[in-house]
């Protein structure tokens, strides 16, 4: 196991103990779990996407409808980073814990498919994903790879093969509601879990930030792993401030050895 300060080491051991005892553990992940894979988060000062761009101007549903070229110009470098990214140790460790039966589901705010690439099966995508694109006119849905690859490599904006209209990635933009089925499943998982682990999320974006409260209100344990404080640190059983790509594999190793 990687060397950690004593306080973090104790927290890792306690988190591993909670995982080992849990019957219905749920993990909620945010952008911070994918930054070690080279995908920028949104709110970090100086490096986050929203420190450089105004979200409502580039990543809103209204912008896409009125000026899809502006959206795709902003999205291109991010799509390239997502397209090239590989799962890091945190994604792989969570997939391993799931395969051993220690995790019931992963609810993620990320659109990068890295959990699935790592091998996780039960992933609830709260903000959609890049797996598919949908037509803005005839509403046909297509697999994304044949369209995103030319977009990443040549900047070609994807168009519908049926009617020729612009295709929209099936991700949630500002001004859109969360996918109803995913939101329902995440709420149910939160209410039924006996352990919730928040990994790489600052818990600043509603309504997803309220999911851990639903778990706490029903008596679940809460572990928070994040680089910065969250509003629920005072309610958590264990708060581990550090790199999720180091901490989660260490937890998984102890669970495996236990």
Cite the active site residues. Answer: 127
Q: Indicate the DSSP class of residue 50.
A: G
Distance CA 172, CA 59 (A): 9
Distance CA 104, CA 181 (A): 17
String of DSSP letters for 201-251: --S-STTGGGHHHHHHTTT-EEEEEESS--TTGGG-SEEEES-HHHHHHHH
Q: Angle, to 10 degrees, between the axis of helix 145-154 and the axis of helix 68-84?
A: 100
Q: Angle, to 10 degrees, between the axis of helix 89-99 and the axis of helix 244-257?
A: 30
**Cα→Cα distances 129→75, 82, 143, 181, Å:** 14, 11, 11, 14
Residue 106 β-bridge partners:
27, 123
CB within 8 Å of 256: residues ≥ 6 apart: 96, 100
Quick check: 15 and 22 in contact, CB under 8 A? no
Residue 71's nearest CA partner among 133, 120, 123 is 133
Classify residue 140 by burial, with Cβ atoms within 10 Å: 0-12, 13-18, 19+: middle
């Amino acid at each position: 196991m990687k060397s950690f300060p004593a306080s973090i080491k104790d927290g890792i051991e306690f988190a591993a103990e909670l995982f080992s005892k849990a019957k219905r553990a749920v993990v909620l992940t945010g952008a911070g779990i994918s930054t070690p894979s080279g995908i920028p988060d949104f709110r970090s000062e100086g490096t986050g996407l929203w420190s450089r761009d105004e979200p409502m101007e580039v990543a809103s549903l209204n912008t896409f409808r009125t000026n899809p070229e502006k959206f795709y110009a902003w999205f291109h470098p991010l799509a390239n980073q997502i397209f090239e990214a590989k799962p890091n140790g945190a994604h792989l460790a969570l997939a391993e814990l799931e395969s051993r039966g220690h995790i019931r589901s992963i609810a993620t705010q990320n659109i990068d498919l890295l959990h699935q690439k790592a091998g996780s099966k039960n992933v609830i995508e709260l903000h959609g994903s890049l797996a598919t694109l949908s037509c803005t006119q005839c509403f046909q849905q297509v697999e994304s790879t044949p369209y995103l690859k030319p977009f990443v490599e040549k900047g070609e904006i994807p168009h519908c093969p049926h009617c020729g209209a612009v295709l929209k990635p099936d991700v949630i933009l500002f001004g859109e509601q969360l996918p109803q089925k995913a939101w329902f499943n995440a709420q149910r998982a939160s209410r039924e879990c006996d352990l919730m682990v928040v990994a790489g999320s600052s818990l600043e974006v509603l309504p997803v930030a309220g999911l851990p409260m639903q778990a706490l209100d029903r008596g679940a344990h809460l572990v928070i792993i994040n680089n910065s404080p969250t509003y629920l640190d005072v309610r958590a059983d264990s708060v581990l401030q550090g790199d999720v790509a180091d901490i989660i594999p260490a937890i998984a190793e102890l669970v495996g050895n236990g």
